[in-house]
Amino acid sequence: MGLDPGLRRLALGTLLAAYPGPVPPDWAVDLLAEGLAGHTLFGTNIHDPAQVAATTAELRAGRPDAIIAIDEEGGDVTRLAHATGSPYPGNAALGAVDDVTLTRQVYAAIGAELAALGITLDLAPTVDVNTADENPVIGTRSFGADPLRVAAHSAAAVAGLQSAGVAACAKHFPGHGATVADSHYELPTVDVPPAVLRARDLPPFAAVVDAGVRAVMTAHIRVPALTGDGPATFSRAVLVDLLRGEYGFTGAVITDALEMKGAALAAGGVGPAAVRALAAGADLLCIGAKVDADLVELVVEEIVGALGDGRLDRARVEEAAGRAAELAAWTGTAGTPTSGPDGLGYAAALRAVRVEGDVTGLAAPLVVQVHATSTIAEGRVPWGLGPHLARAEEVRAVAGETDPDELRRWAGDRPIVLVGRHLHRLPGARELVEALAAAHPVTVVEMGWPGAWRPAGARAFVTTYGASHANGRAAAEVLGLTG
């Protein structure tokens, strides 16, 4: 016996799916016509602006008010510029500049680009307060470690995006910044009392609610005092009592991807995770990136089954679908796209660069880029100084494997500029840098979250607060390597 058509449509109205490739398959469009709330675009869906605009038009042929979402944070997390790196600095750089007007301008420019392409929901900004230098998943995606600074810039980012008619989604509630584990792979724990969350992690969420943010994304993190053994995504105490009751949020609660291990393992699969998230108060369920028609139908069947066996109340699912529909209606009508001045992102990135030490006399150096893996959130996006170098040779090194003596021989009489990301927590990186600096003039460029470590013996330490295309150009310019 097939599913009840009305219940199937109701369940579809709570789902944000995805599909592979630059051309939407028939099933992705057909599901929209059958009630699916929308799709999220990832790097694999992006080829060029004309193709993206054609894609969003094709999706709207299935449902005119379809939510079309994307993770376009600027900085290290970009989908539109995944092939080259973002022309905008990310949140850490904007927080370092600490000009809320600039933050609003950068996000308004991002919003204008998204609106012009037919994208209606940006799964940004990240408003987590990055209080753990070892955080493997937030880092430069955060405006910083100070709650008040993060709050001010978070509100400015929301205002900028939504001025362009693109809904903002602040993430990851109730705060992923103190974690030292990645929720893509496991369930991180933040074992602090609620009072600590209110003082440290929650001020930016209060600020974005006051700024009228249209959506808030849940975190797959465990806060034992509030969530027990499960993630915040499954916690009514977090999503209803805290977010709606205490902070007064009335928009759509969107889950982080349910395929992530922090949710899927805790629930026993994506389908059960969807049921638990809805029951806890989530409205729009982001299934994930690796989605096909069968997975969507599996989730729908699980939701409909839960309506039948009492795990879900129909009024709760109707409420969720209604909030998703309200989000779709807002993104379809609000705002007029506006854009910032040409070169806004590059100028902003240049303002963020910080130099400790002496960067003169670097004509024609050997540039050594230290290999660093990317998180799932970032994806494999090009980074470094390479595209911006006019008079320098560039080589690659692997911390813990590359012999510093070999690099010194390669450099000869030339100074070395060593470029890395999160060098303070990359195994073998500190040893490589300090071995080089002990016997050779070395300038270090940190393009990740800098932390407190500074390499002994280095001539200079340069911090960009991000690894976007804009950050790379800014660093090369400060070092005098752009020609």
Residues taking part in catalysis: 184, 256
The owner of tokens 């999160």 is 422
- If 0-12 CB within 10 Å is exposed, 13-18 middle and 19+ buried, where does residue 293 land? middle
Q: Which residues of 60-99 are buried (b: 16+ CB within 10 A; e: fewer)?
A: bebbebbbbbbbbbbbbbbbbbbeebbbbbbbbbbbbbbb
* CB proximity list for 230: less than 8 A, separation 6 or greater: 222, 266, 276
Pull the structure tokens for residue 164. 């362009």
Beta-strand runs (E) in 95-199: 121-122, 167-173
Cα-Cα end-to-end distance for the chain: 70
CA distance 436 to 395: 15
The pair of three-digit structure tokens given for residue 116, joined into one six-digit string: 């012009």
Kind of pairing between the strands at 121-122 and 67-70 = parallel
Strand order across the 416-420 sheet: 354-357, 460-463, 442-446, 416-420, 366-370, 393-397
What is d(CA 336, CA 352) in angstroms, rounded to the nearest whole number?
Answer: 29
Contact 441, 459 (CB under 8 A): yes
Distance CA 420, CA 370 (A): 5
**Which are the contacts of 410, defined by CB distance < 8 A and separation ≥ 6?**
366, 395
